Amino acid sequence: MASSPTPDIASNSRRRFERCAATLRCEPADRAPAYIPAIACDVSSAILGRTAYTGTGSVRYAEVAAWARGAAAHAEFEAQLIEDLVEIHRVLDVDVLRMPWRMNERPDAQLDQFTFRFGPESGEHTIWQYTPATADFSPVYESPRVDAPEVRLRKRLVHLEKIAADPMPLARASLAPALDLWRRFGEEFYVCSAGAGIGVGYDPDDLELMITEPDLLRQQCLLQAEYAIAVGKALLETKLPLVMAGGGDLAGTQGPIYSPAMFRAMVLPGYVKALEALNQLGVHYYFRSDGNLWSLMDMLFTEAACPGFGETDRDATMTVAAVRARFPRMVIWGNMSSSLLLDGTAAEVRAQAQATIAEAGGRGYFQGCSNAIVHGTPVANVRAMFEVR
């Protein structure tokens, strides 16, 4: 661990840990802990008054661009990323510290300032492009694949089976970034940066395979569950908080992208298997997906007994009040609208923040937005959200 904190920091840290622990037990706390799933670089830069790397597409682009300049440039970027993450959490007095979704991959070529190729030009490859106006970094071209979707799925299963034969080395390695954060800042923040998702995806190939190869996709989810259990066991070997993020995007505002029957047949068995073990281990696993999940909620949170729900999408009717009416002991990780944060006034944000706190009844709720604090979000709105706890 880092050197001992000052008495003021130590006292504040104890309060952080106590309120987070109470919140995970769905018990009353002195206030709702603050939590940021991700915050766009331009928003953090405006708050800190300097260029900062903290999250969303802008940070994924920045990391790939750093890798394109070489290993030394990437190491410098990574050090800056951690410094900036910690500083923005300090400034906003956020309790939970976690690493954002990163793209820690070296591109095969940089085609121009904003465009990168992953894979050989003469073989299978994908081209990613950054759009500064929206801070979106996403694939814009995928070359034709040699193998058919079901062949790629079978190869993926072979890989997952090899991992499942001895999952602990990879599970322990996956915790390295979280452990680094904890060793350096675990006396100041509640460090929760472990995770393992279970799911089938939703691109056209995945949706086709749900019809043509349902048994193989069910096997995939069961193997993913084996790995999630291993990550939970590896977490027990550390002094990190026993918290894991999981899930996977699968819904829009109108409902799931695929049918509840498909979820039950292919995906739910993985969650039942993983949560049976993780709950016995005392690991808090929270399912993350925005969108309208009402048709899946009983499966996830009753049958699979998942204890937590993240990316709880207020704009898709998933309010704290509505979720708690059906699941009184649910721990909810953020319910503020990212779109309201972007487009609303500070007064509107403050009112919604007060509503989420009131609906939670002083327990089991981490205050924050349901998804990311996106590019272009006004600083006043971010501050207004965290004024209410």
> Which pLDDT value is given to residue 1?
47
How many Cβ atoms are within 10 Å of 239's Cβ, its own excluded?
Answer: 11
Structure-token match 């190491």, residue found: 75
> Which pLDDT value is given to residue 209?
96
Is 135 within the bounds of a domain? no
What's the pLDDT band for 5 if we cut at 50, 70, 90? Answer: low
Per DSSP, 294 falls in state G
Q: Which domain holds residue 353?
A: 7-55+71-104+146-387
Q: What pLDDT digit, counting tens, does each position of 244-257 carry?
A: 999 989 999 999 99
9-13: long-range pairs with CB below 8 Å, 24+: 9/187, 9/188, 10/187, 12/188, 13/187, 13/188, 13/189
What's the pLDDT band for 187 if we cut at 50, 70, 90? Answer: very high
End-to-end CA distance of the chain: 29
Q: What pLDDT digit, counting tens, does each position of 55-77 carry?
A: 999 999 999 999 999 999 999 99
What's the pLDDT band for 378 if we cut at 50, 70, 90? Answer: very high
> Which pLDDT value is given to residue 10?
67
Residue 311 near residue 336, CB atoms below 8 Å? no
Write the Ramachandran bin of 5: left for phi over 0, alpha for psi from -120 to 50, otherwise beta.
beta
Helices (H) and strands (E) in the chain, counts: 16, 14
Is 356 within the bounds of a domain? yes
Write the Ramachandran bin of 178: left for phi over 0, alpha for psi from -120 to 50, otherwise beta.
alpha
DSSP string covering 48-101 = HTS----SSHHHHHHHHHHHHT-HHHHHHHHHHHHHHHHHHHHHHT-SEE-PPP
Q: Output phi, psi for 388, to 5 deg.
A: -105, 120
CA distances from 98 to 125, 243, 293 (A): 31, 11, 25
What's the pLDDT band for 3 if we cut at 50, 70, 90? Answer: very low
Nearest to 103 by CA among 130, 84, 122, 85: 130
CA angle 238, 243, 244 (to 5 degrees): 105
CATH number at residue 382: 3.20.20.210
Is 140 within the bounds of a domain? no
Mean pLDDT of 136-160: 96
Burial environment of residue 136 by CB neighbours within 10 A (0 to 12, 13 to 18, 19 or more): middle
pTM attached to this predicted model: 0.93
What's the pLDDT band for 288 if we cut at 50, 70, 90? Answer: very high
Residue 356 near residue 365, CB atoms below 8 Å? yes
Is 302 within the bounds of a domain? yes
Residue 361 near residue 32, CB atoms below 8 Å? no
> Which pLDDT value is given to residue 201?
87
Residue 301 has pLDDT above 70, yes or no: yes
Spatial strand order of the sheet with 243-247 comes to 194-195, 243-247, 284-288, 308-310, 331-333, 365-366
Mean pLDDT of 296-309: 98
Q: What pLDDT digit, counting tens, does each position of 188-230 carry?
A: 999 998 999 999 988 899 999 999 999 999 999 999 999 999 9
Nearest to 41 by CA among 27, 11, 62, 26: 62
Residue 307 near residue 262, CB atoms below 8 Å? no
Is 75 within the bounds of a domain? yes
What's the pLDDT band for 291 if we cut at 50, 70, 90? Answer: very high
Q: What pLDDT digit, counting tens, does each position of 105-117 carry?
A: 999 999 999 999 9
CA 264 to chain centre: 23
Residue 174 has pLDDT above 60, yes or no: yes
Is 225 within the bounds of a domain? yes
Is 299 within the bounds of a domain? yes
> Which pLDDT value is given to residue 12?
80
The total domain count for the chain is: 1
Is 60 within the bounds of a domain? no
For residue 109, give the H/E element and its range: strand 109-112
How far is 253 from 235, CA to CA, in rounded Å? 34
How far is 246 from 259, CA to CA, in rounded Å? 20
How many Cβ atoms are within 10 Å of 63's Cβ, its own excluded?
Answer: 21
How far is 89 from 189, CA to CA, in rounded Å? 9
